[in-house]
A = this chain, B = another copy of it.
Amino acid sequence: MKTVKLTIEYVGTRYSGWQIQENGISVQQEMETALAAVLGGKVRIVSSGRTDAGVHARGMVAHFRTERDLPLSAFREGVNRHLPRDIAVQKAEFATPDFHARHNAKGKWYRYSILQAPVPSPLVWPFSWHIRAPLDNETMAKAAKAFIGRHDFTGFRSAYCDAKTTVKEIFSISVNREERMLIIDVRGDGFLRNMVRRMVGILVEIGLEKKSPSEIETILAHGNETPASLTAPPQGLCLMEVWY
């Protein structure tokens, strides 16, 4: 039995998310179909986590186990030949027999991209949230520091989130302007459903002066279901890296 660790890049636009769904196509299903074609039999792939419909990934990590003795190129070049153009295996590695993409993940890096411009940009629209009103990115960057450390993120998860533990650690968060884009990078040990999109949502409200920077601390301290009001749209989000 071999355990194979894959690093996968995808454009989430056409998919109902990573996880197999009754309605709509998923990245997981495309991956399992491609792997089945290479392995000649059904296989289950386990990812480091789900991504929502429309969310992209540059470095999603997943694993599967197989009895077949194939070279790694079969799981990269070989699998890629069976994948649509918006999904591609970037790396295939043999892992230890007990490796588990979700249980062993030590951290993740998510990037959220905001287009700051008076009109939409065709070149970046599938990969960003377009906000016309100017955002005060320095105030956002300062306010974002309140997220760093261990907190109960109950106030920043989706009503549909079924995670048992809501305490997560944020290692770092930055807000940077790069030409017409505002880039928010968040690194942490784990994320609840919609958590990054809700963190970005409140930062945008702060950047628009609709909320006070102190509200982040208040919501984190209360640790209750009081939700952060705004959820940033999925297309601006990209899972950049998962580490072990």
Looking across the interface, which residue of chain B has its beta carbon closest to that of A80?
B119
Q: In the bound complex, do residue A11 and residue B88 qualify as a contact, i.e. CB atoms below 8 Å apart?
A: no
Number of copies: 2
Q: In the bound complex, do residue B122 and residue A88 qualify as a contact, i.e. CB atoms below 8 Å apart?
A: yes
Q: In the bound complex, do residue A76 and residue B119 qualify as a contact, i.e. CB atoms below 8 Å apart?
A: yes
Majority secondary structure, A binding face = mixed
* Docked pose: A34 CA to B20 CA in angstroms: 40
Size of A's binding interface in residues, CB under 8 A: 24
Q: In the bound complex, do residue A88 and residue B120 qualify as a contact, i.e. CB atoms below 8 Å apart?
A: yes
Q: In the bound complex, do residue B87 and residue A122 qualify as a contact, i.e. CB atoms below 8 Å apart?
A: yes
Residue A77 is within 8 A (CB to CB) of chain B in the complex: yes
Residue A56 is within 8 A (CB to CB) of chain B in the complex: yes
Q: In the bound complex, do residue B76 and residue A120 qualify as a contact, i.e. CB atoms below 8 Å apart?
A: no
Residue A9 is within 8 A (CB to CB) of chain B in the complex: yes
- Counting chain B CB atoms within 10 Å of each CB, the highest count among A56, A90, A118, A123 belongs to A123
A77-94 at interface with B (beta carbon < 8 Å): 77, 80, 85-90
List B contacts of A85 (CB < 8 A).
120, 122, 125
| Shortest distance from the beta carbon of A125 to any chain B beta carbon, whole Å | 6
Q: In the bound complex, do residue A11 and residue B89 qualify as a contact, i.e. CB atoms below 8 Å apart?
A: no
The interface of chain A, by Cβ under 8 A from chain B, is: 9-11, 56, 58, 76-77, 80, 85-90, 117-123, 125, 127, 238
Having A85-B120, A88-B119, A89-B119, one finds 18 other A-B pairs with CB under 8 Å, namely A9-B121, A9-B123, A10-B122, A11-B123, A56-B123, A76-B118, A76-B119, A77-B119, A80-B120, A86-B122, A87-B122, A88-B120, A88-B121, A88-B122, A90-B117, A90-B119, A123-B127, A123-B238
